[in-house]
Amino acid sequence: MFAVFVAALAGIWWSGIDIATAWRLPCGWWQRLRLPINTQMNICLILLLGIGGCSNNSYYADAENAMNTSGYYHVLDHIAAYYPSGISLNFPGYVVGFEESPIHMVTNGREDLVLDESARSAGYSVDRLLNALKFDVQFISQIMRYEGKPYGEGNCALYSLYFNHGVAAVAPCSDDQRNGASMTDEFGDAFVGSWDALDILRQRIDEDIATNRYTHLVVAAMGLDTAQEEAIRNYKSIVSSIRKSGGEEFNPLFIGVTWPSFYANRWFDPLWEALAYPPIADRADTLGLTWLGILLNDVIMPFGDRIEVNLIAHSFGARAATVALCVGSVIKRDREQASRQPAADEIENFIGLAAAFSMERFLQKNNPFYEDIYYRDYCPKIKRFVFTASDRDRAFFPVFWSESVGDHDIMLKYCRQKQPVSVSCSVATADGAVNGFDAKAKVNYIDTSQLMKYTMPGTEGGSHSDIYRPEVGSMLWRIIDGSAP
């Protein structure tokens, strides 16, 4: 920044323009405010330094600029591409990174976006979100594969759009795969490239399952304001805590997703949660209606006849994942693609930790706001829902217009009334046991007030993020193992 300022002064001197004239060129409009000259100069200097600080000289600058993913919050969505060993899983698995860009930057004139118009019947919100795809679209920017070995040995990019003149900080998993190095000037097909990314992932998962090394296939998604680095840290905590209880009986193949979950206008604290809810809720729903829907329905579920599939989702991650499974994807590979047939197998457990969507989505109602999406027939693709709610969770207080699943008061309402959504209710103890759990019920509610009661460092919303401790892992293993309590 200082170099930019010095260069500007040198340019003024070389051009022969006097300082007073040069000052009026970029900053003369401050004079209209009749501020003291010292104040004018200080403000203008800040502006000039700010302009200098806008330049992007990062390792992946070309790719980031081409896809509009160079901002502070944007970079957090692909930070693992910079640190393939430092930001990584410590067990075998994959992290699928979703990002969002203006449609004209990642598609070729919008003809790449082919929609299944029949999905609009799922509710007004679906219709509204499909119309919004004319402006911004999500896509897969990277799929990282982790071996879980010391020193990050074997970690690689199964697919990545981030590279520096054909070279990346993270090595490709194979020389013949389609990755960023073969797309140097073709970021305009980043959207359709996501289909190829999922094809590669499907093939590798098939090979992994064929080894018979794994006991479960676990998919996970995090919620609001969770950077990729934080999400990977959280996944390590959750899976490791389950392993502590399950031992050798829990040796999962893991697929975690990261997505643009930040709402940057944090200066509105403490009301930012209420302000963030609508735009991030829309982004989560859109993720479910697009690439997360493709990932879960077309890539993950077909393996359900070979390995048990469990999905663990927190907060807005549960929102995105339920849309993906209960409504499905609205995008098609091409106009000739036939309508998708429901997968023959089911997700064994959908575990929604403090889930951030409305219980009314299970009901066919006409709601005028953000919850008008209908989950028909209690989502046949999911064998068992397990939702948690704690009276120490404060994250849902500002969201007064939604009967959020993770809201403890909403849980009590449905547990007492047993209608219009039929639920089975149980209570978790402080050590992770679950008293009264009914494995045969379609929708289970667990009151985790005794278990999830602490505020985790660096998080807000009371106990909303108290999901990483060993005792919580004990509860999760009991659910996955089917041995609760």
Report the pLDDT averaged over residues 231-249: 97
> Of 41-45, 59-63, 184-188, 241-245, where does mean pLDDT reach its minimum?
41-45
Residue 183 pLDDT? 42
At residue 270, does pLDDT exceed 60? no
Residue 266 pLDDT? 43
At residue 17, does pLDDT exceed 50? no
Residue 267 pLDDT? 41
Q: What phi and psi values does residue 6 have, to the nearest 5 degrees?
A: -60, -40
Model pLDDT for residues 312-355, shown as the tens digit of each residue: 999 999 999 999 999 999 998 887 776 666 565 789 999 999 99
Residue 401 pLDDT? 74
Greater confidence (29 vs 422) lies with: 422
In 3D space, the residue among 292, 359, 349, 277 whose CA is nearest the CA of residue 323 turns out to be 292
Q: How confident is the model at residue 274 (pLDDT cuts 50, 70, 90)?
A: low
Spatial distance between the Cα atoms of 271 and 201, rounded to a whole number of angstroms: 40
Spatial distance between the Cα atoms of 192 and 337, rounded to a whole number of angstroms: 14
Residue type, 483: S
Report the pLDDT averaged over residues 356-378: 83
User: Quick check: helix, strand or coil at residue 412?
Assistant: helix
Taking the domains of the chain in order of start, what are their residue ranges? Answer: 2-52, 61-481
CA-CA distances (angstroms) from residue 253 to 92, 118, 346? 6, 34, 17
Q: How confident is the model at residue 19 (pLDDT cuts 50, 70, 90)?
A: very low
Residue type, 371: E
At residue 55, does pLDDT exceed 70? no
Q: How confident is the model at residue 460 (pLDDT cuts 50, 70, 90)?
A: confident
Residue type, 233: R
User: CB within 8 A of 467, min separation 6: which ones?
Assistant: 234, 238, 314, 353, 354, 452
Report the pLDDT averaged over residues 261-271: 55
Report the pLDDT averaged over residues 91-111: 90
Residue 182 pLDDT? 41
Greater confidence (278 vs 436) lies with: 436
Q: What phi and psi values does residue 312 have, to the nearest 5 degrees?
A: -115, 120
| Beta pairing partners, 99 | 139
User: Quick check: helix, strand or coil at residue 419?
Assistant: coil
Contacts of 130-134 spanning 24+ positions with Cβ under 8 A: 130/289, 130/330, 132/282, 132/286, 133/103, 133/286, 133/290, 134/103, 134/110
**Residues 234, 226 contacting (CB under 8 angstroms):** yes
Residue 110 pLDDT? 63
Residue recorded with tokens 């896509």? 139
Model pLDDT for residues 414-446, shown as the tens digit of each residue: 999 877 888 999 999 999 999 999 999 999 999
Spatial distance between the Cα atoms of 19 and 243, rounded to a whole number of angstroms: 68
Q: How confident is the model at residue 108 (pLDDT cuts 50, 70, 90)?
A: confident
In b/e form, how buried is each residue of 8-34, taking b as 16+ CB within 10 angstroms? eeeebeeeeeeeeebbeeebeebeeee
At residue 2, does pLDDT exceed 70? no
Residue 462 pLDDT? 85
Report the pLDDT averaged over residues 269-278: 60
Q: What phi and psi values does residue 8 have, to the nearest 5 degrees?
A: -65, -45
Q: How confident is the model at residue 167 (pLDDT cuts 50, 70, 90)?
A: confident
At residue 447, does pLDDT exceed 50? yes
**Residues 96, 256 contacting (CB under 8 angstroms):** yes
At residue 189, does pLDDT exceed 80? yes
Residue 368 pLDDT? 64
User: CB within 8 A of 57, min separation 6: which ones?
Assistant: none
Quick count: other Cβ atoms within 10 Å of Cβ 380? 12
User: Quick check: helix, strand or coil at residue 82?
Assistant: coil
User: Residue 420 has what DSSP assignment?
Assistant: S
Query: pLDDT above 70 covers what percent of the chain?
Result: 80
Spatial distance between the Cα atoms of 106 and 118, rounded to a whole number of angstroms: 25
